[in-house]
């Protein structure tokens, strides 16, 4: 789909224009962004089905198209680094046989946390598109601006708000169900073992409504 001879972005400031498709990249509602955010939402739904906090991520390469799809697997893998973005970045690096994810876009349903925004910088990702902001841990705009911090050696263009309502709704529904089950358990009714095991603060990074 792409002309592989297109120049690679050398500077973050130039990273706005290297995409070989003529996109209104700053428009979060561009059909290209919506298409790939819908894929990320499919991943989030898969996380929901696995009783994981529903966050999904997709990485699109200018040259190869979609090269990574992942969802949060923190509980399944018992790994605090198993956020959707981290898994997707590792998948993409394996695919490209390079740790440099240049000419790629990361789509993620929730604003990246400090760890994932740091990984964006480390991977030299030029673009990040996210769905809904994270008031408790957002590190692209909300609490920190890691991806655009000029003290670091790489900056990414970050676009917010693609399918924001759907990305927020699935998180709200997940935590609404958790709260309902927690109340059931508190009342002595049967529930799923472990759902109330974690302190609330463990979930708070994902859930603006968990304040």
Least CB distance to Zn ion at residue 116 (A): 3
**Residue from 69, 83, 141, 155 binding Zn ion (CB under 5 A):** 83
Smaller CB separation from Zn ion, 104 or 113: 113
Q: Judged by CB, which is closer to Zn ion: 25, or 87?
A: 87
Q: Of residues 62, 105, 116, 158, which one binds Zn ion by CB under 5 A?
A: 116
- For the chain, counts of helices (H) and of strands (E): 5, 5
CA distances 65 to 20, 31, 51, 62, Å, are 12, 15, 29, 6
Q: How far is the CB of 95 from Zn ion (least distance, A)?
A: 20
Scanning 73-81, 112-120, 141-149, 170-178 for contacts with Zn ion by CB under 5 A, the matching segment is 112-120
Residue 87 in contact with Zn ion, rule: CB under 5 A = no
Check if the beta carbon of residue 133 is closer than 8 Å to that of residue 141. Answer: yes
Residue 85 annotated as catalytic: yes
185, HSE (Cβ side, Cα atoms, 13 Å): 13
Cα 72–chain centre separation: 9
**Which residue is nearest to Zn ion, using beta carbons?**
116
- Which residue in 97, 144, 115, 103 sits closest to 1, CA to CA? 103
User: What is d(CA 101, CA 121) in angstroms, rounded to the nearest whole number?
Assistant: 10
119 binds Zn ion per the rule CB under 5 A: no
Contacts with Zn ion by CB under 5 A: the residue count is 4
In the bound complex, what is the minimum distance in angstroms from residue 167's beta carbon to Zn ion? 14
Contact positions toward Zn ion, by CB under 5 A? 83, 113, 115-116
């Amino acid at each position: 789909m792409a002309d592989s001879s297109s120049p690679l972005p050398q500077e973050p400031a130039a990273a706005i224009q290297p995409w070989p498709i003529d996109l209104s990249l700053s428009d979060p509602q561009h059909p290209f962004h919506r298409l790939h955010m819908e894929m990320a939402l499919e991943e989030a739904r898969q996380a929901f089905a696995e009783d994981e906090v529903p966050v999904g991520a997709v990485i699109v390469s200018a040259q190869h198209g979609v090269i990574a799809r992942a969802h949060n697997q923190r509980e399944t893998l018992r790994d605090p680094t198993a956020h959707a973005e981290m898994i997707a970045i590792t998948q993409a690096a394996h695919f490209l046989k390079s740790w440099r994810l240049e000419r790629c876009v990361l789509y993620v349903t929730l604003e990246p946390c400090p760890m994932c925004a740091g990984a964006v910088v480390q991977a030299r990702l030029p673009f990040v598109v996210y769905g809904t902001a994270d008031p408790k841990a957002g590190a692209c705009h909300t609490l920190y601006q890691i991806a655009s911090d000029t003290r670091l050696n790489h900056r990414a263009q970050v676009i917010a708000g693609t399918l924001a309502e759907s990305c927020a709704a699935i998180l709200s529904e997940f935590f609404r169900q958790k709260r309902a089950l927690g109340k059931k358990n508190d009342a002595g009714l049967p529930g799923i073992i472990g759902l109330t095991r974690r302190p609330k603060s463990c979930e708070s990074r994902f859930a603006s409504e968990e304040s």
